[in-house]
Amino acid sequence: MLEKNPTVSVIIPTYNRAHLIERAIQSVLNQTYQDFEIIIVDDGSTDNTEEVIKEFQEKDKRVRYIKHNTNKGGNTARNTGLKSIKGEYVAFLDSDDEWLPKKIEKQLEVFKNSKDRKLGFVYCGAFFIKEDSKEKITEILPKKRGYLFKELLERNCITGGGSSNLIKKEVFEKCGNFDECEELRKGGAQEYEMWIRIAKNYDFDFVNECLIKYTVNLKGTTASSKLENKGRAYEYIVNKFFEEYKKYPKILSNKLRWIGSFYCRGSNLEVGRKLFLKSIKYNPLNIKSYLYWLISFFGSNFYNRLYNLTVLYRGDVKQRLINKILLLKE
Protein backbone atom coordinates (compact mmCIF):
# COMPACT_ATOMS: atom_id res chain seq x y z
CA MET A 1 0.00 0.00 0.00
CA LEU A 2 1.36 3.39 -1.05
CA GLU A 3 2.03 5.88 1.71
CA LYS A 4 -0.12 9.03 1.50
CA ASN A 5 1.72 12.27 0.91
CA PRO A 6 1.40 14.90 3.66
CA THR A 7 -0.73 17.99 3.05
CA VAL A 8 1.93 20.43 4.30
CA SER A 9 5.70 20.42 3.87
CA VAL A 10 7.56 22.49 6.47
CA ILE A 11 11.07 23.61 5.47
CA ILE A 12 13.45 24.74 8.22
CA PRO A 13 16.80 26.10 6.99
CA THR A 14 19.40 26.32 9.74
CA TYR A 15 23.03 27.18 10.35
CA ASN A 16 24.82 26.77 13.70
CA ARG A 17 21.65 27.09 15.78
CA ALA A 18 21.78 23.92 17.81
CA HIS A 19 20.79 26.01 20.86
CA LEU A 20 17.59 27.24 19.17
CA ILE A 21 16.43 24.71 16.60
CA GLU A 22 14.93 22.30 19.15
CA ARG A 23 12.39 24.99 20.04
CA ALA A 24 11.55 25.59 16.36
CA ILE A 25 11.04 21.89 15.59
CA GLN A 26 8.96 21.35 18.70
CA SER A 27 6.69 24.25 17.75
CA VAL A 28 5.88 22.41 14.50
CA LEU A 29 5.32 19.09 16.26
CA ASN A 30 2.95 20.89 18.66
CA GLN A 31 0.66 22.05 15.84
CA THR A 32 -3.03 21.23 16.15
CA TYR A 33 -2.93 20.24 12.46
CA GLN A 34 -0.70 17.19 12.20
CA ASP A 35 -0.63 16.13 8.53
CA PHE A 36 2.81 17.48 7.70
CA GLU A 37 6.43 16.60 7.04
CA ILE A 38 9.41 18.56 8.37
CA ILE A 39 12.43 19.01 6.10
CA ILE A 40 15.41 20.46 7.96
CA VAL A 41 18.18 21.75 5.71
CA ASP A 42 21.42 22.13 7.64
CA ASP A 43 23.43 24.73 5.74
CA GLY A 44 26.87 23.43 6.70
CA SER A 45 26.65 23.79 10.51
CA THR A 46 29.82 23.21 12.52
CA ASP A 47 28.09 22.89 15.91
CA ASN A 48 26.01 19.93 17.17
CA THR A 49 22.93 20.77 15.09
CA GLU A 50 22.95 17.31 13.47
CA GLU A 51 22.87 15.54 16.84
CA VAL A 52 19.90 17.62 18.02
CA ILE A 53 17.93 16.87 14.85
CA LYS A 54 18.69 13.15 14.88
CA GLU A 55 17.12 12.90 18.32
CA PHE A 56 13.88 14.16 16.78
CA GLN A 57 14.23 11.78 13.83
CA GLU A 58 14.41 8.81 16.17
CA LYS A 59 11.09 9.83 17.72
CA ASP A 60 9.17 11.02 14.63
CA LYS A 61 9.53 9.67 11.08
CA ARG A 62 8.04 12.90 9.68
CA VAL A 63 11.33 14.68 10.41
CA ARG A 64 13.77 14.58 7.48
CA TYR A 65 17.35 15.89 7.49
CA ILE A 66 19.48 17.20 4.62
CA LYS A 67 22.95 18.69 5.10
CA HIS A 68 25.04 20.94 2.87
CA ASN A 69 28.79 20.30 2.94
CA THR A 70 29.43 24.05 3.08
CA ASN A 71 27.47 27.14 4.08
CA LYS A 72 25.59 28.36 0.98
CA GLY A 73 23.04 30.81 2.37
CA GLY A 74 19.41 30.75 3.46
CA ASN A 75 17.82 30.84 0.01
CA THR A 76 19.99 27.98 -1.27
CA ALA A 77 18.90 25.97 1.79
CA ARG A 78 15.24 26.80 1.10
CA ASN A 79 15.65 25.70 -2.52
CA THR A 80 17.25 22.44 -1.40
CA GLY A 81 14.19 21.84 0.76
CA LEU A 82 11.82 22.67 -2.11
CA LYS A 83 13.38 19.92 -4.23
CA SER A 84 12.27 17.34 -1.65
CA ILE A 85 8.74 18.42 -0.72
CA LYS A 86 5.77 16.07 -0.99
CA GLY A 87 3.00 18.33 0.31
CA GLU A 88 0.35 20.38 -1.46
CA TYR A 89 1.31 23.41 0.66
CA VAL A 90 4.72 24.69 1.79
CA ALA A 91 5.61 26.61 4.94
CA PHE A 92 9.01 27.99 5.91
CA LEU A 93 10.24 28.40 9.47
CA ASP A 94 13.50 30.14 10.36
CA SER A 95 15.31 28.04 12.93
CA ASP A 96 15.38 30.80 15.56
CA ASP A 97 11.63 31.44 15.30
CA GLU A 98 8.69 29.39 16.53
CA TRP A 99 5.02 28.88 15.68
CA LEU A 100 2.00 29.06 17.93
CA PRO A 101 0.00 25.78 17.94
CA LYS A 102 -2.83 26.80 15.58
CA LYS A 103 -0.66 28.43 12.90
CA ILE A 104 -1.04 25.79 10.17
CA GLU A 105 -4.66 24.99 11.05
CA LYS A 106 -5.84 28.59 10.77
CA GLN A 107 -3.96 29.26 7.55
CA LEU A 108 -5.35 26.13 5.91
CA GLU A 109 -8.85 27.29 6.88
CA VAL A 110 -8.29 30.50 4.93
CA PHE A 111 -7.32 28.52 1.84
CA LYS A 112 -10.22 26.11 2.17
CA ASN A 113 -12.83 28.83 2.78
CA SER A 114 -11.59 31.18 0.06
CA LYS A 115 -13.42 31.55 -3.26
CA ASP A 116 -10.39 33.28 -4.78
CA ARG A 117 -8.93 30.89 -7.37
CA LYS A 118 -5.76 32.99 -7.56
CA LEU A 119 -5.05 32.75 -3.82
CA GLY A 120 -1.58 31.30 -3.39
CA PHE A 121 -0.15 32.80 -0.20
CA VAL A 122 -1.54 33.14 3.34
CA TYR A 123 0.45 34.87 6.07
CA CYS A 124 -0.15 35.97 9.67
CA GLY A 125 0.91 38.43 12.37
CA ALA A 126 4.01 38.12 14.52
CA PHE A 127 5.19 38.68 18.08
CA PHE A 128 8.73 40.09 18.14
CA ILE A 129 10.64 38.35 20.95
CA LYS A 130 14.07 39.05 22.48
CA GLU A 131 16.34 36.05 22.01
CA ASP A 132 17.98 36.23 25.43
CA SER A 133 15.05 37.05 27.74
CA LYS A 134 12.11 35.82 25.58
CA GLU A 135 10.48 39.17 26.43
CA LYS A 136 7.98 40.51 23.90
CA ILE A 137 9.27 43.65 22.17
CA THR A 138 6.25 44.45 20.02
CA GLU A 139 3.78 42.79 17.67
CA ILE A 140 2.60 43.38 14.11
CA LEU A 141 -0.71 42.32 12.61
CA PRO A 142 -1.14 41.92 8.83
CA LYS A 143 -3.03 44.56 6.87
CA LYS A 144 -2.80 43.83 3.15
CA ARG A 145 -4.66 41.18 1.14
CA GLY A 146 -5.59 40.55 -2.46
CA TYR A 147 -3.41 41.52 -5.42
CA LEU A 148 -0.36 43.03 -3.70
CA PHE A 149 2.10 43.40 -6.56
CA LYS A 150 2.05 47.21 -6.52
CA GLU A 151 2.19 47.35 -2.70
CA LEU A 152 5.13 44.95 -2.61
CA LEU A 153 7.06 46.95 -5.19
CA GLU A 154 6.69 49.85 -2.77
CA ARG A 155 7.66 47.98 0.40
CA ASN A 156 7.63 44.57 2.05
CA CYS A 157 4.19 44.50 3.69
CA ILE A 158 4.35 40.78 4.60
CA THR A 159 4.73 40.47 8.37
CA GLY A 160 6.91 37.86 10.05
CA GLY A 161 9.68 37.41 7.49
CA GLY A 162 10.05 33.90 6.14
CA SER A 163 8.28 32.20 9.05
CA SER A 164 4.73 33.53 8.70
CA ASN A 165 3.61 32.00 5.43
CA LEU A 166 1.72 29.04 4.02
CA ILE A 167 2.09 28.81 0.23
CA LYS A 168 0.63 26.51 -2.41
CA LYS A 169 3.25 24.22 -3.95
CA GLU A 170 2.09 25.23 -7.43
CA VAL A 171 3.26 28.80 -6.73
CA PHE A 172 6.91 27.72 -6.91
CA GLU A 173 6.25 25.60 -9.99
CA LYS A 174 4.98 28.75 -11.73
CA CYS A 175 7.17 31.49 -10.20
CA GLY A 176 10.41 29.57 -9.69
CA ASN A 177 12.46 29.08 -6.53
CA PHE A 178 14.27 31.63 -4.35
CA ASP A 179 16.91 33.88 -5.90
CA GLU A 180 20.31 32.84 -4.48
CA CYS A 181 22.00 36.18 -5.26
CA GLU A 182 24.71 37.19 -2.77
CA GLU A 183 23.43 40.78 -2.51
CA LEU A 184 20.04 39.56 -1.30
CA ARG A 185 21.65 37.24 1.26
CA LYS A 186 23.93 39.90 2.71
CA GLY A 187 21.18 42.52 2.74
CA GLY A 188 18.55 40.31 4.37
CA ALA A 189 16.05 40.72 1.51
CA GLN A 190 15.94 37.10 0.37
CA GLU A 191 12.24 36.50 0.98
CA TYR A 192 11.14 39.95 -0.19
CA GLU A 193 12.29 39.35 -3.77
CA MET A 194 10.38 36.05 -3.83
CA TRP A 195 7.21 37.67 -2.48
CA ILE A 196 7.28 40.24 -5.31
CA ARG A 197 7.51 37.47 -7.90
CA ILE A 198 4.65 35.57 -6.29
CA ALA A 199 2.51 38.71 -6.08
CA LYS A 200 2.75 39.19 -9.83
CA ASN A 201 0.84 35.94 -10.37
CA TYR A 202 -1.10 35.17 -7.16
CA ASP A 203 -3.28 36.84 -4.55
CA PHE A 204 -2.46 37.06 -0.84
CA ASP A 205 -4.60 36.68 2.27
CA PHE A 206 -3.92 36.50 6.00
CA VAL A 207 -4.99 35.29 9.41
CA ASN A 208 -5.52 38.39 11.53
CA GLU A 209 -3.66 36.99 14.54
CA CYS A 210 -0.07 36.78 15.74
CA LEU A 211 0.74 33.11 15.17
CA ILE A 212 4.54 33.21 15.21
CA LYS A 213 7.27 34.32 17.59
CA TYR A 214 9.88 36.19 15.58
CA THR A 215 13.13 36.06 17.55
CA VAL A 216 15.55 38.99 17.53
CA ASN A 217 18.98 39.56 19.04
CA LEU A 218 18.97 43.30 19.76
CA LYS A 219 22.65 43.14 20.70
CA GLY A 220 23.51 42.82 17.02
CA THR A 221 25.31 45.55 15.15
CA THR A 222 23.86 48.20 12.87
CA ALA A 223 27.29 49.04 11.43
CA SER A 224 27.74 51.08 8.28
CA SER A 225 28.51 47.94 6.27
CA LYS A 226 25.18 46.41 7.24
CA LEU A 227 23.26 49.52 6.19
CA GLU A 228 25.11 49.56 2.88
CA ASN A 229 24.35 45.86 2.37
CA LYS A 230 20.67 46.70 2.77
CA GLY A 231 21.04 49.38 0.13
CA ARG A 232 22.70 46.96 -2.30
CA ALA A 233 20.01 44.32 -1.75
CA TYR A 234 17.13 46.69 -2.47
CA GLU A 235 18.98 48.22 -5.40
CA TYR A 236 19.30 44.70 -6.84
CA ILE A 237 15.54 44.23 -6.47
CA VAL A 238 14.75 47.53 -8.19
CA ASN A 239 17.05 46.62 -11.08
CA LYS A 240 15.52 43.16 -11.37
CA PHE A 241 11.96 44.52 -11.56
CA PHE A 242 12.87 47.80 -13.22
CA GLU A 243 10.39 47.49 -16.10
CA GLU A 244 7.57 47.01 -13.58
CA TYR A 245 8.82 49.87 -11.39
CA LYS A 246 8.84 52.23 -14.36
CA LYS A 247 5.07 51.83 -14.66
CA TYR A 248 4.77 53.52 -11.23
CA PRO A 249 7.16 56.53 -11.31
CA LYS A 250 6.20 57.82 -7.84
CA ILE A 251 6.84 54.43 -6.25
CA LEU A 252 10.13 54.11 -8.14
CA SER A 253 11.19 57.61 -7.05
CA ASN A 254 10.38 56.94 -3.39
CA LYS A 255 12.11 53.56 -3.50
CA LEU A 256 15.29 55.07 -4.95
CA ARG A 257 15.28 57.77 -2.28
CA TRP A 258 14.80 55.13 0.42
CA ILE A 259 17.71 53.06 -0.95
CA GLY A 260 19.88 56.16 -1.22
CA SER A 261 19.17 56.85 2.44
CA PHE A 262 20.57 53.42 3.38
CA TYR A 263 23.79 54.25 1.54
CA CYS A 264 24.08 57.67 3.21
CA ARG A 265 23.43 56.23 6.66
CA GLY A 266 26.09 53.64 5.86
CA SER A 267 28.65 56.35 4.96
CA ASN A 268 28.57 55.79 1.18
CA LEU A 269 27.42 59.32 0.44
CA GLU A 270 28.46 59.32 -3.20
CA VAL A 271 26.20 56.40 -4.16
CA GLY A 272 23.42 57.79 -1.97
CA ARG A 273 23.49 61.14 -3.79
CA LYS A 274 23.38 59.43 -7.19
CA LEU A 275 20.26 57.56 -6.12
CA PHE A 276 18.63 60.77 -4.83
CA LEU A 277 19.25 62.40 -8.23
CA LYS A 278 17.86 59.32 -9.96
CA SER A 279 14.82 59.56 -7.68
CA ILE A 280 14.31 63.18 -8.79
CA LYS A 281 14.60 62.12 -12.44
CA TYR A 282 11.61 59.78 -12.13
CA ASN A 283 9.56 62.23 -10.08
CA PRO A 284 10.79 65.86 -10.23
CA LEU A 285 8.11 66.82 -7.68
CA ASN A 286 9.55 64.52 -5.00
CA ILE A 287 10.59 67.29 -2.57
CA LYS A 288 12.01 64.82 -0.04
CA SER A 289 14.61 63.64 -2.54
CA TYR A 290 15.93 67.20 -2.96
CA LEU A 291 16.13 67.56 0.83
CA TYR A 292 17.87 64.20 1.30
CA TRP A 293 20.38 65.09 -1.44
CA LEU A 294 21.12 68.44 0.22
CA ILE A 295 21.47 66.98 3.74
CA SER A 296 23.90 64.33 2.47
CA PHE A 297 26.56 67.05 1.96
CA PHE A 298 26.76 67.53 5.75
CA GLY A 299 28.19 63.99 6.20
CA SER A 300 26.83 60.62 7.32
CA ASN A 301 26.95 61.36 11.07
CA PHE A 302 24.78 64.44 10.65
CA TYR A 303 22.55 62.54 8.22
CA ASN A 304 21.99 59.73 10.75
CA ARG A 305 21.26 62.15 13.61
CA LEU A 306 18.74 64.04 11.52
CA TYR A 307 17.18 60.77 10.34
CA ASN A 308 16.69 59.60 13.94
CA LEU A 309 15.30 62.96 15.02
CA THR A 310 12.82 62.90 12.15
CA VAL A 311 11.55 59.47 13.18
CA LEU A 312 11.14 60.63 16.79
CA TYR A 313 9.43 63.85 15.69
CA ARG A 314 6.87 61.84 13.73
CA GLY A 315 6.24 59.83 16.88
CA ASP A 316 6.99 56.69 14.92
CA VAL A 317 9.10 55.04 17.63
CA LYS A 318 7.50 51.64 17.05
CA GLN A 319 8.37 51.77 13.36
CA ARG A 320 11.94 52.74 14.21
CA LEU A 321 12.20 49.71 16.49
CA ILE A 322 10.78 47.48 13.75
CA ASN A 323 13.26 48.92 11.25
CA LYS A 324 16.11 48.08 13.62
CA ILE A 325 14.77 44.56 14.09
CA LEU A 326 14.55 43.98 10.35
CA LEU A 327 18.07 45.33 9.94
CA LEU A 328 19.49 43.03 12.62
CA LYS A 329 17.70 39.87 11.57
CA GLU A 330 19.38 38.55 8.44
Are 272 and 181 part of one and the same domain?
Answer: no
- The C-alpha atoms of residue 177 and residue 194 are separated, in whole angstroms, by 8
Q: Answer yes or no: is 3 within a domain.
A: no
Residues 18 and 149 placed together within one structural domain of the fold: yes
Q: What confidence tens digit (pLDDT) does each residue in 236-276 have?
A: 999 999 999 999 999 999 999 999 999 999 989 999 999 99
Residue 318 confidence (pLDDT): 52
Torsion of CA 177, 182, 187, 188, to 10 degrees: 30
CATH number of domain containing 160:
3.90.550.10
In terms of residue numbers, what domain contains 289? 224-328
Number of domains making up the chain: 2
Reported confidence tier of residue 132, pLDDT bands at 50, 70, 90:
confident
Instruction: Please determine, for residue 326, whether its predicted confidence score (pLDDT) is greater than 60.
Output: no
Q: Is 147 a member of any domain?
A: yes
Distance CA 249, CA 278 (A): 11
Give yes or no for residue 42 having a pLDDT over 70.
Answer: yes
The last residue of a domain, from among 216, 234, 268: 216
Range in 10-19, 38-47, 320-329 the model is least confident about: 320-329
Q: Report pLDDT for 320.
A: 55
168: three-class secondary structure by DSSP: strand
Nearest 5°: the CA angle 149, 155, 157 is 80
**Domain-located, residue 207:** yes
Within-domain flag for 209 = yes
Do 66 and 196 fall into the same domain?
Answer: yes
pTM reported for the whole predicted model: 0.91
What's the gap between Cα 171 and its chain centre?
A: 17
pLDDT confidence of residue 1:
47
> Quick one: 63 and 186 in the same domain?
yes
Q: Which residue has the higher pLDDT, 121 or 4?
A: 121
pLDDT value at residue 311: 58
With b for 16 or more beta-carbon neighbours within 10 A and e for fewer, the 206-244 pattern comes to bbeebbbbbbbeeeeeeeeebbbbbbbbbbbbbebbeeb
Provide the pLDDT for residue 216.
82
Q: Are 251 and 154 a contacting pair, CB within 8 Å? A: yes
* Integer Cα distance of 319 and 292 in angstroms: 20
Question: What confidence tier does 324 reach under pLDDT thresholds 50, 70, 90?
Answer: low
- Give Cα separations from 244 to 60, 175, 240 (angstroms): 46, 16, 9
Q: Are residues 131 and 212 in the same domain?
A: yes
**Are residues 233 and 112 part of one domain?**
no
Assess if residue 2 is contained within a domain. no
What pLDDT score was predicted for residue 251?
Answer: 98
pLDDT attached to residue 60 = 96
Judge if 199 and 261 occupy the same domain. no
pLDDT for res 202: 98
Angle (deg, nearest 10), helices 269-282 and 287-295: 160
Whether residue 81 is contained in a domain is answered as yes
Residue 210 and residue 235 in one domain: no
Asked, for residue 305, whether it belongs to a domain, the answer is yes
**pLDDT of 31:** 98
For residue 321, the model assigns a pLDDT of 57
| 114 and 262 both lie in a single domain | no
Give the domain-ending residue among 216, 244, 274.
216
pLDDT confidence band for 218 (50 / 70 / 90):
low
Q: What's CA 127's distance to the chain center, in Å?
A: 15
Q: Identify whether residues 114 and 173 lie together within a single domain.
A: yes
Residue 137 maps to a domain: yes
Q: Are residues 183 and 250 in the same domain?
A: no
Sorting pLDDT into bands at 50, 70 and 90, what band is 161? confident
Mean pLDDT calculated for residue range 104-117 = 97
Please state, in angstroms and rounded to a whole number, the distance separating the CA atoms of residues 249 and 61.
52
Strand partners, 139: 127
Q: Where are the beta strands (DSSP E) in 176-217?
A: 203-216
The residue among 216, 241, 266 that closes a domain is 216
CB atoms within 10 A of CB 66: 16
Q: Which pLDDT score is estimated for 181?
A: 94
Determine the longest span between alpha carbons in the chain, in angstroms: 73
Q: What is the pLDDT of residues 290-300, one digit of tens each?
A: 999 999 999 98
Please indicate, yes or no, whether residues 76 and 212 belong to a single structural domain of this protein: yes
pLDDT at 313 over 50: no
- Gap between the Cα atoms of 129 and 197, Å rounded: 29
